[in-house]
Each structure stands twice: as C-alpha cells, then as structure tokens.
Amino acid sequence: MTSSYSADQIQVLEGLEPVRKRPGMYIGSTGPRGLHHLVYEVIDNSVDEALAGHCSHIEVDLNADGSVTVTDDGRGIPIDIHPTTGKSALETVMTVLHAGGKFGGGGYKVSGGLHGVGISVVNALSEWVEVTVWRDKQEHIQRFERGIPVTELQVKPLKVPRTGTSVSFKPDTQIFITTGIEFDYTTLTGRIRELAYLNAGVRITFSDLRLELLKNNEPRVETYHYNGGIKEYVAYMNRDKQPLHEEIIYVSGERNGVQVEAALQWCTDAFTDNLLGFANNIRTIDGGTHLEGLKAVLTRTMNTFARKRNKLKDNEPNLGGENIREGLTAVISVKVPDPEFEGQTKTKLGNTEVRGIVDSLIGEVLTEYLGFNTAVADAILDKAIQAFRAAEAARRARDLVRRKSVLESSPLPGKLADCSSRDPAESEIFIVEGDSAGGSAKQGRDRQFQAILPLRGKILNIEKTDDAKIYKNAEIQALITALGLGIRGDEFDSTQLRYHRIVIMTDADVDGAHIRTLLLTFFYRYQRSLVDQGYIYIACPPLYKVERGRNHYYCYSERELTNLVQNEFPANANYTIQRFKGLGEMMPTQLWETTMNPQSRTLKRVEIEDAAEADRIFTILMGDRVAPRREFIETYGSKLDLMDLDI
Ligand code: 0RA
C-alpha cells in the first residue's frame, strides 16, 4: 500500500465504518437474506446501466472460492478524478456511502427499498472486492479489503477494445457470522429470473462454478432473456393453467414521471388471484398504492362493463373486487423517481400519487381493450359472476358452521396427545402420519411442551374442495380444533393459536412428501398467515444410522452418508448402515434424539419467499391437470426444491 493512501484511509473508515458496525441497517440482516442482497445490489447497478440503454448482457458467476463476479458490457464505471475528493469516480462510488446516485445522470436510479444502498455497502461488508473497468481502450483494476482500497487504480492497455464493468467480491465471514457466506442457487436464480422478466431484453447469464455443485463435471449455467418482459412473466406463471383468453392484456405508459407497466390474464381453472407488484424492480410483498390502483380500476371497469353488457341488472349489487380477480394472474411494475417504501420490511409502496396514475392509465387502456374484445370481456364477467355466487354459497356454509359452533366449542380431537403446558409460545405440535409413527412420537416426546397429532392416511386435498366439505372432513376438523384455527377466510387471530411451532413430521419417502405437500397446501390456502408469520416447520428425521464399533452416527442425507463413510472413516473400516424406511421404524428414544429434541434436532421453518412460485407449485401439485403434476414430481421427486425452506 502506498503512503498516499493513508489520508484516504481515514476518510474511508469514517465513510464505511457505520456499515460494518450496523450491517443490518443497510442490508436488513446478516443472515441469508442480507447475504443475498449483496449480490442483488451489484446486479442492480448493471441492470440500471441496461435500463439506460448501454448494456445488453450481464453475467453472474458463483466462483469456486465462494466469491461472486458480476460482469456487464455497459459503459464502465467512470474512472476520471473527482476535482474535490481527488479520487477517481470509481473509488468514490466504492468507498463513500450513497455516492452512486451522483453519477446517475438523469433517467431512473431504479433501485430502492431494500437495495439501492449503493455498491459501497457491498464493499464495506466484503473481505475483498476487485473492480475491473474497461473503457477508453484501457483496463482499470482496483482492489479493496473490508472497504479500504489496497491498490491504486492499475491501468493497462486493452488489446481488444471493449467496455464494461466487472465486480468480484467475497462476503466477509466476520460480518456473516451466524449463517455463513454460502449462496443458495434457487434464491439467486429466482431473483435473476425476476429481474430478466422485469427488464425486457436484458440478457442475464448465471453460472454456478462452485466445486461441490459440479454435476457430471459440468457447471450449472442458465440464461435468462425475455423480450416479452412481464407479459412473458404472466405466461410463465400461467403455463400450467387454462387461460380464459389467449392474449395477455398489456398496458404500459408514463404519467408525471411515473412509468407503469401491467400484464393480466385470467384462467378458468384458478380460484384465487395472483397479483405481483414491483416498484423500481423491488418486489412489493405488502402491496401498496400501485396495487390499490390496479384493484380499484379493475373493479370499477368490470362493473361498468357488466351493466353495459346486461350481465348485472339495475337492482343487483356490484360484483366484489375479489370476485373479479378470481383466477387472475397479473404483474404490475412501476418505476417511481422517488420511491417511498413503508412497513417493517419496507416492502409496501407508499407514494400516494401512484394510485391515481395507475388507475387512470390502466382504466383507459382496459376500457378500450374490452370494448374491442367483447368476447374476452364476457368470459371474464361470467367467471366473476360465478365467483360471486360461489362466494355467497360459501358464506352461507360458513354461517352454518358458525351457528352450530362446530369449531369454537368442539372438544379437542381424541387422538391428540396434548402437552401439559398451556403457554402457546413454548408449545409445539408434531403432525405425524399414521398411528405407528404417532406411537413412537408419543413415547419419545417431552410431554411438557410437545403435543402429537397423528393423521390417518392422506388428508383431504383442500385445493379441489369447497368450504362446506372441508368442515365435514374428520382429519381437517382435527387439525383445525387441535391448532385452534378459526374459520377459513376470517381474519387470522394468532392469540387463539394453541402452539407456536407446528411441525410437520412425515416419512422421508414419496408418500411422506405427498402428505407434507397436502398439509402445506392446507395451511397455505386455509390460513396463509400461519405460513407468512413463520409458525410452520418441517422436521428433519435421519435417513440412515451408521454403526461402527461402539459409536453410532445419524445421517440426514445421502451426501452426509457418503462423506462420513468416505472421508471420516479409515479405508478398511467395519461398519453397518441401517436405512430408516419410516418414522415408525425408529425407537422412541431415537426419534427424540434425532428429530424432536430441541438440543439436537434440525427444524426447517417454511418460508415462502416467492408467493407466485408457491401458488404455481400448489396449483400443479393439487390441481386437476395430471400431466404437469407428473412432470413436476418426476423432476423434483420428493423434495420441494422450489420452495425456499430457510433454517
Ligand atoms: C455512472 C455513469 C456511467 C456509468 C455508470 C455509472 C456505470 C456504473 C456501473 C456499475 C456496474 N456497472 C456499471 N456500468 C456503468 C457512464 C459514464 C459515461 O461514460 O458517461
């Protein structure tokens, strides 16, 4: 390091020290989510360059050493010396908090909310960063360690002229202490696919070059490139459903500096809505003014049409918004110059002006479209009217249930082995498959805080069943009363919940996976907040017991078994392997030790990051169309690989 950097160093420390002190303030957490945000932040910079029209290809590499490289073919981060700081623009962007925006130069700095904190935050939280800029027929490289420049900008002539930026970084294990720095393939590709859909025409290549994931010596390389943008996104989400109308309705426009883009398609075989909102490329999980605008304009426009086309009589009430949205898949993406993100997780768009802009822009286009395509308008209206009648019938069924008080006052199910504790916060319930596993679990548990509910065989498929039948089903009634759930569709009251950990414990085979899916579907469709608020867990029983001499080991995956036998044991070791075919085969003490004891078990909390993907999975697994379901199960086998199961 040259002496001329010592003055800068102090400045740099002042600049980025708060980030290292309180990383959570900048990236949300130092868990897996925060870790992945580092990658998103770097990609977002390249996406901005693409949106400005200067870059067509972005490459993301997960390197074998645990670092990540993001390369683009844009103009390259400027390297000229800033007159006041005396540092290059590149170094300024890398070492000064929020310095990125200054170089934005018009257009949208689309990032916001969770990201958009600037690439300097990535620099601060990385063990090292290396930036390469190709521009002005030269290659410029600078290296940083924990936010501090450790080399000057090194310049070499470029033999083959090119332009662009490449940022490599390795997250700092001193920052990501608890969960480490391993990136998740599905999480990253999910976001990259989303970005490619949201930014039509941008090509993003993803390569996983990590040694342990090499399959048949081939790295996993995936390219995401959608010229149709969010229209293709809707087609992708609906690919296993029956569209009600072929053409996807598409709206795009700009008003008062706010860009609006929406794509909509209704399906005949879907009974929920699936609305995805984005603001400045950030998924707004908690909605906000753009979604409010979309819902309002849909309800108003469709009711106007219903009267115009005599589908509703003068004395009949308006169709409800939820009736109109039944079976609708929609993506709305807005770009707001000055986004406000609200709520605890900053995933709700707050800008009030957006509501009216979305409403008026979409209203104009939709009215014109439906006026020209009356067959489409009629099909959507007929479905909405059907939905309205079904909702009326369901409401009557619910009222009946409520009057009879089946749920509220019914005794706890006989097969429930309840725990002694009455404090839901410390209580757990294990939902197990069959009486045999139930028996082992009952004997193995700690009855103070662990309850066991054995289910007989497969539970009812809630996806295909109407409300009246649901309440009559014995297994579902047992679940509802044991857990203390209310009536479907009612506001979720977490104070009524009898256990704060609801653990699905099924066999590690195809049947077990199916039952787990049925249960997850039940929770997801019946009381989605149970999933969203993190009450649902999956138990991880071992697959193998290995005995060698007086020692025994439990292995929870094939990989663990191979590793144990090949790497931990001497070459000529004598050992036996027992494969557990079901939980019922385990001794109660074994089940306790490996799967139920909080001191030694692993529980996975079910987290559904991508509601759209979850929705699609449940539709495939539970819906009527057999072909995609078979294909899905053949592809993914017993692991629900696409769902993000985190911790
Ligand atoms: C500001 C100005 C210019 C380019 C960029 C930023 C830029 C930043 C990043 C970050 C990753 N990739 C990037 N590509 C470009 C343009 C300056 C000019 O040439 O006029």
Tell which atom from ligand 1 comes closest to the C-alpha of 42: 11
| Rg of the Cα atoms in the chain | 28
Q: What is the CATH topology of the domain spanning 230-397?
A: Ribosomal Protein S5; domain 2 (3.30.230)
Of 65, 509, 547, 568, the catalytic one is 509
Spacing, Cα 228 to ligand 1 middle (Å): 26
- Sequential DSSP letters for 23-74: HHHHHS-SSHHHHHHHHHHHHHHHHHHHHTTS--EEEEEE-TTS-EEEEE-S
Q: Is 433 one of the annotated active-site residues of the chain? A: yes
- Sequential DSSP letters for 40-51: HHHHHHHHHHHH
| Residue of the CA atom closest to atom 9 of ligand 1 | 77
The tokens describing 515, both together, are: 């039952």
DSSP state of 227: T
Q: What is the CATH topology of the domain spanning 17-224?
A: Heat Shock Protein 90 (3.30.565)
Spacing, Cα 50 to ligand 1 middle (Å): 10
Give residue-wise pLDDT tens across range 403-420: 554 455 567 888 899 999
CA 509/CA 582 separation, integer angstroms? 8
Q: What is the CATH topology of the domain spanning 406-541+604-644?
A: Rossmann fold (3.40.50)
CA 281/CA 115 separation, integer angstroms? 10
pLDDT at 408: 55
Average pLDDT over the chain, rounded to whole?
A: 85
Spacing, Cα 134 to ligand 1 middle (Å): 11
The tokens describing 290, both together, are: 């753009």
Q: Which of 39-48, 320-329, 474-483, 634-643 has the least mean pLDDT? A: 634-643
Tell which atom from ligand 1 comes closest to the C-alpha of 165: 12
Over 50: is that where the pLDDT of 172 sits?
yes
More confident residue, 259 or 626: 259
What's the average model confidence in pLDDT over 290-301?
98
Best mutation site among 42, 44, 48 for ligand 1 pocket (most ligand atoms within 8 Å of CB) = 48
Over 80: is that where the pLDDT of 646 sits?
no
Nearest to 117 by CA among 225, 20, 27, 207: 27
Give residue-wise pLDDT tens across range 355-383: 999 999 999 999 999 999 999 999 999 99
- Block residue for tokens 């990658």: 39
| Residue of the CA atom closest to atom 6 of ligand 1 | 77
Of 127, 136, 353, 511, the catalytic one is 511
Segments of the chain assigned to CATH 3.40.50.670: 406-541+604-644
CB burial readout 435-458, b (16+ within 10 A) else e: eebbbbbbebbeeebbbbbbbeee
Residue 601, Cα to own-chain centre: how many angstroms?
Answer: 25
Q: Is 359 one of the annotated active-site residues of the chain? A: no
| Sign, CA torsion 487/488/493/496 | positive
What's the average model confidence in pLDDT over 586-593?
92
Of 208, 433, 463, 607, the catalytic one is 433
Nearest to 34 by CA among 145, 134, 179, 152: 179
Q: Is 507 one of the annotated active-site residues of the chain? A: yes
The tokens describing 417, both together, are: 């082995």
Give residue-wise pLDDT tens across range 264-276: 999 998 888 899 9
Segments of the chain assigned to CATH 3.30.565.10: 17-224
Segments of the chain assigned to CATH 3.30.230.10: 230-397
